[in-house]
Structure 1
Amino acid sequence: MTPEEIAGTLTELFGTGDVGAIAPGSWQVETSSFRLLVLLAEDHTWLRVLLPIVPIEAAQPFLEQFLEANFDETQEVRYALYQGVIWGVFQHNSGTLVSADLSNAIARLISLHDAGLNDVFNRLIENRIRQIIQAAKRQGQSLQFTMQNLERFYTEGLLGEIEQTPEAREQVLALWRHQLERLWNEIEA
């Protein structure tokens, strides 16, 4: 893609008001939700698209899940760490890049931005639930017995918030029950 084609694709996606050239071969897309950077190498051989996702302080507990997502889920874009920020990054040889691929990559980056920590948090939680199921099965516990233990932990205050209302506790337990029932038969002891 030439610089003109890149600028045209950005204008098609975001309109002229949100797209600005910040230097030759570099653009910034500024919306109310995000700031996207598009950088073309000086020799015009590589294009990099960057979108900040979350500060490292918030992401620290989920670094393993970010890396797992890079392997399994992020497709043509990747999570990366730079200057204390987790970024969504797309890099491609500009000579073989077409407008549709750039548009798809930008849509995927925006999807990562919109998800923020939600997807990696959910991945972490599912991994923990799988560990609980494995431990319960190794001890010969049934799904029903495992759920009773969790209910007891909430009743005794070992799990949950200190000032959690009974309604909130029931909602959390319903979520536990749903996840345990969903994953129970998938997991071997």
Structure 2
Amino acid sequence: METQQITSILQEIFPQDTVETNNEENWQINNDKIRLLVLLSEDKSWLRVLTPIASVMEAQSLLVPLMEANFDTTQEIRYALGQNVLWGVFHHNFATLATEDFVNVILRMIFVAEKGLSEAFQQLVEQRIRQIIQAAKTQGQSKEATFQTLERFYQEGMLGDIDRDPQERENFLASWQMQLDRLWDEE
């Protein structure tokens, strides 16, 4: 792949956006969905693609599931921390990077940016629900009794905002019930 191809590929993927570039060493896309940086090392031997996902403060409680995702699901993209930001990062030797692989990385990076922290949050929630189920079963509780306990915790403000409107409360509790139903027999 050649450096001049980067601009044309980015313009193809982001036709409505301006591709900002500087000396064919870095490129930037900013729109309402993504901020994407493509950087070449000074000697043009390494290419790095980055997108900010969230602040470190927002991601703090999700670092374990994010690092597990690095091991299991992120494919060629990794989560990394730098400058108080959680980033989606891709590194590759520029001389051996195929054009098709670069396109796929950009598309994958868009996907990672759009999902943000939601997947890691869902993973953490599922892990917590599994712990609740295990604890309930250890105490000999039924699924129904476990749900009643969760409902009481919610009413006491331990699982969310006590001042939510009734519809939000119903949606929240329905979500808990669905998760209990889905995971109860697995634990």
Fold match (TM-score > 0.5): yes
> Is the contact made by 1:25 and 1:39 (CA closer than 8 Å) also made in structure 2?
yes
Q: Which moved more, 1:7-16 or 1:20-29?
A: 7-16
- Equivalent position of 2:182 in the other structure: 182
Structure 1: where are the runs of 5+ without partners? none
> Is the contact made by 1:160 and 1:169 (CA closer than 8 Å) also made in structure 2?
no
Question: Where does 1:38-187 land on structure 2 (aligned, <5 Å)?
Answer: 38-187=38-187
The CA deviation string for residues 84-111 of structure 1, in whole angstroms up to 9 with x for no partner, is: 1111111112222112211111111111
Measure the CA separation in 1 of the matches of 2:67 and 2:183.
23
The CA deviation string for residues 14-51 of structure 1, in whole angstroms up to 9 with x for no partner, is: 23852121233221122233321111122322111111
Structure 2: where are the runs of 5+ without partners? none
Q: Which moved more, 1:152-161 or 1:41-50?
A: 152-161
TM-fit CA distance, 1:158: 4.6
Measure the CA separation in 1 of the matches of 2:50 and 2:75.
15
Query: Could you state the TM-score of these two structures normalised by the residue count of structure 2?
Result: 0.90
Task: Tell me how many residue pairs correspond in the alignment.
Answer: 187
Letter in 2 for 1:163: D
TM-fit CA distance, 1:71: 1.3
Measure the CA separation in 2 of the matches of 1:16 and 1:22.
19
The CA deviation string for residues 66-94 of structure 1, in whole angstroms up to 9 with x for no partner, is: 11111122111011111111111111122
Q: Which moved more, 1:82-91 or 1:20-29?
A: 20-29
Mark the CA change 1:44 to 1:185 in structure 2 (over 3 Å): closer, same or farther: same
> Is the contact made by 2:81 and 2:87 (CA closer than 8 Å) also made in structure 1?
yes
> Is the contact made by 1:40 and 1:46 (CA closer than 8 Å) also made in structure 2?
yes
Query: Could you state the TM-score of these two structures normalised by the residue count of structure 1?
Result: 0.89
* 1:2 equivalenced with 2:17 (yes/no): no
